[in-house]
């Protein structure tokens, strides 16, 4: 499994504040079967704003400590970028991508996607970036109308869903929306969005539930196959579902009569 959204890098945002806590969390993740994790610290102008060199220093320190502690996982740099006008300048200046890929994890205002959402995202698409909207199910506008997520996929925006949302950690409405996204094929990634405040089990539990309620392939696609494609460069389909739950074929009236 690969986790593409986490706040495990210590002392840079509202996630982990202690390198020992980060190491303990990485050890838990490794034990559960996580092979690769993106350390997607918040980047939010005026709130969590830093030079790329500052991020890299902390990233390398954690990587070295993890290696020394024999926690063999692939750690990749990443950022959760708050979408704002002209954010392209910061993305280009600091290379705020996920690893060396063109993918960028973005977030916006949870109380509703703002009116300038598309006009802020369009320059990023035009510059060749591949935006992934973080925890789409938590936006009020998407909760009201989940098919907005589908329309985003038609505008070349990928969707990420939090594992905790599928388990009800953010309330009933978010949970319902998260399952609507999964059941309709309107999400491409499940990730933890882990802030190192509690146990990490949600990601494993969510995968198990998708396995049970949808199918094994979808669980694998969202938790491993698509996340792996970020680094490998394999294309990730924006629309990938014909039918998730094929209806049983109805027998014709003649067969039903004589069954």
3-state secondary structure (DSSP) of residue 38: strand
- Based on CB atoms, which residue is closest to Fe ion, 90 or 193? 193
Task: Quote the least distance from Cβ 134 to Fe ion, whole Å.
Answer: 6
Task: Quote the least distance from Cβ 246 to Fe ion, whole Å.
Answer: 35
Query: Phi/psi of residue 178, each to 5°?
Result: -60, -45
DSSP character for 15?
A: S
Task: Quote the least distance from Cβ 193 to Fe ion, whole Å.
Answer: 4
> Which spans of this chain sit near Fe ion (rule: CB under 5 A)?
80, 193
- Based on CB atoms, which residue is closest to Fe ion, 97 or 214? 97
- Based on CB atoms, which residue is closest to Fe ion, 80 or 137? 80
- Based on CB atoms, which residue is closest to Fe ion, 71 or 132? 132
Q: Are 188 and 160 in contact (CB under 8 A)?
A: yes
Q: Are 170 and 136 in contact (CB under 8 A)?
A: no
- Sheet with 189-191, strands from edge to edge, namely 2-3, 36-43, 74-82, 103-107, 130-133, 158-162, 189-191
- Based on CB atoms, which residue is closest to Fe ion, 79 or 204? 79
Q: Which residue is nearest to Fe ion (CB)?
A: 193
E strands present in 181-239 = 189-191
Task: Quote the least distance from Cβ 254 to Fe ion, whole Å.
Answer: 57
Q: Say what the alpha-carbon torsion angle 13, 156, 128, 83 is, to the nearest 10 degrees.
A: -30
Task: Quote the least distance from Cβ 15 to Fe ion, whole Å.
Answer: 8
Tokens at residue 6, please? 């986490």
């Amino acid at each position: 499994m690969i986790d593409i959204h986490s706040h495990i890098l210590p002392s840079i945002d509202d996630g982990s504040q202690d390198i020992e806590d980060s190491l303990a969390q990485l050890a838990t993740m490794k034990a559960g079967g996580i092979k690769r994790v993106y350390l997607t610290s918040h980047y939010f102008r005026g709130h969590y704003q830093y030079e790329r060199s500052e991020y890299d220093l902390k990233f390398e320190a954690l990587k070295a400590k993890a290696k020394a502690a024999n926690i063999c996982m692939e750690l990749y740099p990443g950022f959760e970028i708050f979408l704002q006008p002209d954010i392209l300048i910061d993305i280009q200046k600091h290379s705020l991508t996920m690893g060396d890929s063109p993918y960028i994890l973005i977030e916006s205002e949870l109380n509703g996607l703002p009116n300038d959402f598309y006009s802020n995202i369009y320059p990023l698409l035009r510059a060749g970036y591949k935006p992934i909207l973080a925890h789409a199910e938590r936006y009020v506008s998407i909760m009201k109308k989940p098919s907005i997520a589908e329309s985003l996929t038609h505008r070349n925006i990928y969707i990420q869903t939090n594992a905790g949302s599928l388990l009800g950690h953010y309330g009933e409405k978010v949970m319902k929306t998260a399952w609507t996204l999964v059941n309709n094929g309107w999400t491409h990634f499940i990730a933890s969005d882990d802030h190192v405040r509690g146990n990490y089990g949600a990601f494993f539990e969510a995968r198990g539930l998708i396995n049970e309620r949808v199918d094994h392939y979808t669980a694998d696609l969202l938790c491993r196959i698509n996340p792996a494609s970020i680094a490998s460069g394999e294309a990730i389909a924006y629309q990938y579902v014909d039918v998730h739950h094929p209806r049983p074929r109805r027998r014709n009236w003649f067969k039903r009569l004589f069954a």
